[in-house]
Structure 1
Amino acid sequence: MLYSITAARSTRQLAENRITHILSVCSDPIPAEVPEAGIVHQRIIIEDADYADLLIHLPASCRFIESALSSGGDILVHSVQGTSRSAAVVAAYFMYSRRINSTQALDLIRTARNYVWPNPGFQEQLVLFELCHYAPSPSNAIYVNWHSKLERKLRAAGLPSLADTTGKESSAMTSVDRS
């Protein structure tokens, strides 16, 4: 299930859809009472910006989605609007699980939600995700080259380096017991 933050904040919608897991791909927190509903929640704090490094978070996101589904759970993946960040993560999951390319994954998502448009930086990172064999890491040459190129672009534009935002982009996982 791919939606905006509004769905993640609605305890009624979460209950109606039997959501057991939430993957939040944004900096906006969801209210505290939602995790108290016994929902396993993982959060990736990241901006919807071409320069944001979503790529490094994709393997863990895919594992989280896979874990939710394989345990018989239902998952909500959301960002603020549900069109860029979360769409890129769901596309990455489809790429990983079905071994399809980014265009095919986005087309698949658009059959259910037609206004899905990851920003150009995330679209590029989906292509790189496949080139990295779904395992980007600081030791993967493709990831390292892309990251270095991005750092140079940021410096040239006078923007903060990714190293300055690393703490903001780290994912935190919290699990709450079901009552």
Structure 2
Amino acid sequence: MSRFSILSNDMDKVHSYFGNNLWLGSLKAAKNSQLLRLNNIQTVITVANNISLKLENFKHYIFSIEDSASFRILDYFKQINEVIQEGLMHGSVLVHCVAGVSRSSACVIAHLMQSQGWSYEKTYYYVKEKRLTINPNPGFKKQLIQYSNQLDLIQKTKNSLESTQSSKLLLSPRYKQKSREDLITKLIQNNIKSPNRRIEQLDYSSTTEDREIYRFQLAQKLFANSLMGNENDKKTAQKSNRQNKANPLKIKLSLQYN
């Protein structure tokens, strides 16, 4: 195949999603119903102005976008991304403008940045490998970089919130209570599985089974001590409260002395 024939493709497959493909192409490709059906394209997205195109038996969306450096294509990315994502759930999708060079390529790049979490530079060269003719105008490139920064900030904020929520969950009394119950359950299960013998200490002749039994017994002992410590603290506090209630004069004298 010659370089000229590669450069003159009406459309090119850019990315695959679970068997469905995202295509990038020209107006000529969008008008070729046979080509669309052959590639299982169910959704066609037109991102151009001043063109007349009516498609039957296809989901067709039109976004009036000018190929101008001053045009705010950034304002359309979110909506176009949603349409692409919805279309890919039901078949393959074609995004096209007039030549498949500037407007449609900017929209496809924006979608891949959002869906794949890629940077602008990585996404641009990825799409460039699939369709050599892409070349978003300078204004679109600046807005794509801006969009990439916005997506990056959103992801960082999301990660920070998830980290904060995880930390709060770990510190919450309910989580600690659940962890304690899980530990008790695990100890009970291990106790059922463990043999009725005790390992007082380990040495070089100890088997793997001996080491497992020893670890289990140690965990039981530490856990029991922890429970006893908590219970003793509670009993001490309860005893102190009872004594204070029984001897109000003692409390009063103690306060006066202090």
TM-score by length of 2: 0.49
Corresponding residue of 1:49: 68
Report the AA paired with residue 133 of structure 2: Y
Corresponding residue of 1:131: 149
C-alpha change, 1:134 and 1:29, in structure 2 (3 Å) is: farther
Q: 2-side partners of 1:24 and 1:55: how far apart?
A: 16
1:1-179 to 2 correspondences below 5 Å: 1-32=23-54, 34=55, 36=56, 38-69=57-88, 71-133=89-151
Contact 1:8–1:30 under 8 Å retained in 2: no
Corresponding residue of 1:176: none
Q: 1-side partners of 2:63 and 2:31: how far apart?
A: 16
Report SS of the residue matched to 1:115. Answer: coil
Report the AA paired with residue 100 of structure 1: W
Contact 1:9–1:30 under 8 Å retained in 2: no
Shift of 1:78: 0.2
Report SS of the residue matched to 1:24. Answer: strand
Contact 2:128–2:134 under 8 Å retained in 1: yes
1:1-20 Cα distance to aligned partner (Å, 9 max, x none): 00001000111211211210
Report SS of the residue matched to 2:110. Answer: helix
Q: 1-side partners of 2:108 and 2:43: how far apart?
A: 14
Contact 1:83–1:116 under 8 Å retained in 2: yes
Report SS of the residue matched to 2:130. Answer: coil
1:133-153 Cα distance to aligned partner (Å, 9 max, x none): 289xxxxxxxxxxxxxxxxxx
Q: 1-side partners of 2:52 and 2:73: how far apart?
A: 20
Shift of 1:42: 1.3
Query: Between Structure 1 and Structure 2, which shows a larger proportion of helix residues?
Result: 2
**Sequence identity percentage:** 29
C-alpha change, 1:28 and 1:9, in structure 2 (3 Å) is: farther
Report SS of the residue matched to 2:151. Answer: coil
Q: 2-side partners of 1:42 and 1:57: how far apart?
A: 13
Shift of 1:21: 0.4
Contact 1:22–1:77 under 8 Å retained in 2: yes
Report the AA paired with residue 59 of structure 2: V
Report SS of the residue matched to 2:46. Answer: strand
Report SS of the residue matched to 1:114. Answer: coil
The answer for unaligned runs of 5 or more in structure 1 is 136-179
Instruction: Name the Cα RMSD after superposition.
Output: 1.8
Corresponding residue of 1:165: none
Report the AA paired with residue 101 of structure 1: S
Report SS of the residue matched to 2:41. Answer: coil
Shift of 1:129: 0.8
